[in-house]
A and B are shown apart, each in its own frame.
Chain A
Amino acid sequence: MLRYRYLFEQMVRRELRQKYRGSALGVLWYVINPLVLMAAYGLMFGVLLKAVSIDDYLLFLLVGLTVWVFFAGSLLTAAGSLLDQGSLVGKMRFPRETVPAATVTVQLVTFAVLLVFVAPIAVAVRGTLDPALLLLVPIVACLYVFVLGLAMVVAILHAYFRDVAPILNAALLPWFFLTPILFRLEDLPGLREHTWAETLLQWVNPVTPFVEAMRAVLYSGRAPELGVLLYVPVAAAVAFLLGRAIFRRMEGELAVVL
Chain B
Amino acid sequence: MRDPERAGAEAGLAPGEILLDHASRAFDVRGDQGRTLKDVVLRREGQGPEPVQALDEVSLHVAPGETVGMVGRNGAGKTSTLRVLSGIVPLDSGRALCGGRVISLLELGAGFGRDFTGRENIELNGALHGLLKHEVAERADAIVAFSELGDFIDSPVKTYSSGMMVRLGFSIAAHLDADTLLIDEVLAVGDVGFRRKCLRRISERIASGATLVFVSHDTAAIERVCERVVVLDGGRVTFDGPTAEGLLFYHRVMGTEQGDGESVRPPATRTLAVPEVSLLDADGHARGVFRTGDPVRLAFHVVASEPVAEPRLGLEVRDEEGRVIFRTETGLELERGEARLALDIARLGLLGGDYDLVVTARDAARDQPGADRVMSFSVASEPGAEGVVDLRGTWSARTAARVAS
Q: Which residue of B lies closest to A86 (CB)?
A: B34
In contact, A3 and B88 (Cβ under 8 angstroms): no
Q: Flag B1-17 by CB within 8 Å of A: 1 or 0 each.
A: 01100000000000000
Number of A residues, CB within 8 Å of B: 30
Binds B, one of A110-118, A157-165, A195-203, A206-214: A157-165
Stretch in B128-136, B211-219, B339-347, B392-400 touching the partner: B128-136
Choose from B2, B35, B116 the contact partner of A17 (Cβ within 8 Å).
B116
Q: Are B132 and A92 in contact (CB under 8 A)?
A: no
In B79-122, the 8 Å CB interface with A consists of: 83, 86-90, 102, 104, 106-107, 110-111, 113, 115-116, 120
Interface positions, chain A 87-111, Cβ under 8 Å from B, are 87-94
Q: What is the minimal beta-carbon distance from B183 to any residue of chain A, in angstroms?
A: 12
Query: Are the CB atoms of B111 and A88 closer together than 8 Å?
Result: yes
Checking A17, A91, A161, A163 against B115 with a beta-carbon cut-off of 8 angstroms, the contacting residue is A17
Q: Tell me whether B37 and A161 are in contact (CB under 8 A).
A: yes
B:41-79 near A, CB below 8 Å:
none
Residues of A within 8 A of B27 (CB): 256
Chain B nearest CB from A19 CB (Å) reads 10
Cβ-defined contact, B127 with A6, below 8 A: yes
Across the interface, do B128 and A92 meet the contact criterion of CB distance under 8 Å? Answer: yes
The verdict on A91 contacting B35 (CB below 8 Å), with A3-B132, A7-B127, A252-B2 known, is no
CA distance A93 to B129 in the complex (A): 7
Q: A14-B124, A256-B31, A257-B31 are in contact. Are A163 and B37 (CB under 8 A)?
A: yes
Which residue of A91, A94, A252 contacts B106 across the interface (Cβ within 8 Å)? Answer: A91
- Give the contacting residue for A91; candidates B34, B87, B111, B127; CB below 8 A: B111
List A contacts of B110 (CB < 8 A).
87-88, 91-92
- Counting CB contacts under 8 A, is A18 at the interface? yes
- A17–B107 touching, CB < 8 Å: no
Of the residues B32, B35, B90, B111, contact of A92 by C-beta under 8 Å: B111
Most chain B beta-carbon contacts within 10 A, residue among A3, A6, A9, A160 = A6
Task: Give the distance in Å from the alpha carbon of A2 to the alpha carbon of B87 in the complex.
Answer: 20
A162 touches B35 (CB 8 A): yes
- Verify if A4 is at the interface (C-beta below 8 Å from B): yes
| B40 on interface, CB distance cutoff 8 Å | yes
Considering only CB atoms, which chain B residue lies closest to A2 in the complex? B132
Assess whether B36 is interfacial by the CB under 8 Å rule: yes
Chain B residues closer than 8 Å to A162, beta-carbon distance: 34-36
Q: List 28 A-B contacts (CB under 8 A).
A: A4-B127, A6-B127, A6-B132, A6-B133, A7-B127, A7-B128, A10-B124, A10-B127, A13-B113, A13-B124, A17-B113, A88-B110, A89-B88, A90-B88, A91-B88, A91-B110, A91-B111, A92-B129, A93-B3, A93-B87, A94-B128, A94-B129, A94-B130, A161-B36, A161-B37, A252-B2, A252-B90, A253-B90
Interface residues of chain B, those whose CB is within 8 Å of chain A, are 2-3, 27, 31-32, 34-38, 40, 83, 86-90, 102, 104, 106-107, 110-111, 113, 115-116, 120, 123-124, 127-133, 136
Other A-B pairs beyond A6-B132, A7-B128, 8, CB < 8 Å: A6-B133, A17-B116, A87-B107, A91-B106, A92-B106, A94-B129, A163-B36, A257-B34
